[in-house]
């Protein structure tokens, strides 16, 4: 089976072709960062319109790079949710219409399932079962994974997601959008012992997260301290270490609670080098293994949607002719494969 994957959940248009036997044949990505930079964040209407402009040209480009034609496709996978409803509908309309015109099945994919399965695109994919730490701009979740579609959410953020907290704190520091990567770069210049930020909810039982208070703590520190480059770097370092430590403490707790010894980390924040290094150290101390997608598949992309979609299409799951987007869609409501 050969599947075309379409990702349009937020501000990146991602298209990929995945073959059951050959693996990933091509993937293309267009980022809207420059479009939204003047506004300091994603403008939903502008995002939707830009997806309309880019989705068909990128589909043609992905097919050309894969050396195949529309007639070579056996299925279409598109992101159905969660995400911005207008952006989701662009991909859903394109995917559903294309599948209908070709007489092939289509499947709506859960965006976070795509992230969760992204490490399966690597040469050494993880085996089931494992714990997945999903950290992005919109989600922070710990998920018990026993197979494709066999998910139990063990904990999640009760307010801001980790990536959202990174971006908001970066904005408070005057860093350009997208702020998360810029804050991490600034943190590399900071002194580790200058500030000590709280590790929220780590002194309480359970696996939920909260980053809103940490963001407020950072805001108060920023307003009370001198506005110079080194001070900002020190604050960035303290903030990043607090987020990383919190994620590690909760991940370790989830591993001990389940008895699993494999950890998958995915989503945009999984590209953070400090988080990767500290998680690798933690898993080594536990005699376990940690798995990541390559950096280009940490952010939103079509390859993860094509992979997740082909798993469900091979299991006989398909989408009806209606075009739907699900801005809110709990991960643990998915059907098992």
Annotated binding-site residue numbers:
111, 115, 134-138, 167, 180, 272, 300
Report the alpha-carbon distance of residue 293 to residue 253 in Å, rounded: 23
Name the binding residues for substrate: 134-138, 167, 180, 272
Burial label, 331 (beta-carbon count in 10 A; 0-12, 13-18, 19+):
buried
- Give the distance from CA 174 to its chain's centroid: 25
- Spatial neighbors of 220 by CB under 8 A, at least 6 apart, are none
Helix pair 179-187, 273-285: axis angle to 10 deg: 70
Name the binding residues for Fe cation: 111, 115, 300
The neighbour count for residue 281, using CB atoms within 10 Å, is 12
């Amino acid at each position: 089976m050969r599947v075309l994957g379409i990702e349009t959940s937020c501000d990146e248009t991602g298209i990929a072709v995945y073959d059951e036997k050959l693996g990933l044949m091509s993937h293309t990505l267009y980022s809207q960062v420059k479009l939204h930079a003047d506004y300091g964040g994603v403008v939903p209407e502008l995002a939707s319109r830009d997806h309309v402009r880019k989705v068909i040209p990128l589909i043609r480009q992905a097919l050309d790079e894969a050396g195949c034609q529309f007639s070579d496709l056996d299925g279409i996978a598109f992101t159905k949710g969660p995400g911005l409803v207008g952006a989701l509908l662009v991909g859903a309309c394109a995917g559903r219409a294309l599948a209908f015109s070709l007489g092939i099945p289509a499947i709506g994919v859960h965006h976070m399932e795509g992230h969760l399965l992204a490490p399966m695109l690597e040469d050494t994919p993880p085996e089931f079962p494992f714990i997945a730490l999903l950290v992005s701009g919109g989600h922070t979740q710990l998920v018990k994974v026993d197979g494709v579609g066999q998910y139990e959410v063990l904990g999640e953020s009760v307010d801001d997601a980790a990536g959202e907290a990174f971006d908001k704190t970066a904005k408070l520091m005057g860093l350009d959008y997208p702020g998360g990567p810029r804050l991490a770069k600034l943190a590399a210049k900071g002194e580790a012992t200058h500030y000590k930020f709280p590790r929220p909810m780590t002194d309480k039982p359970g696996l939920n997260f909260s980053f809103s208070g940490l963001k407020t703590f950072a805001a108060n520190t920023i307003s009370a301290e001198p506005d110079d480059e080194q001070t900002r770097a020190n604050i960035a370092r303290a903030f990043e270490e607090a987020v990383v430590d919190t994620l590690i403490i909760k991940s370790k707790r989830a591993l001990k609670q389940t008895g699993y010894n494999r950890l998958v980390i995915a989503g945009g924040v999984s590209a953070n080098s400090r988080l990767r290094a500290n998680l690798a150290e933690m898993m080594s101390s536990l005699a376990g293994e940690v798995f990541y997608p390559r950096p280009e598949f940490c952010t939103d992309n079509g390859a993860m949607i094509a992979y997740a979609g082909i798993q469900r299409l091979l299991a006989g799951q398909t989408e009806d002719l209606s075009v739907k987007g699900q801005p809110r869609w709990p991960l643990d409501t998915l059907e098992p494969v």
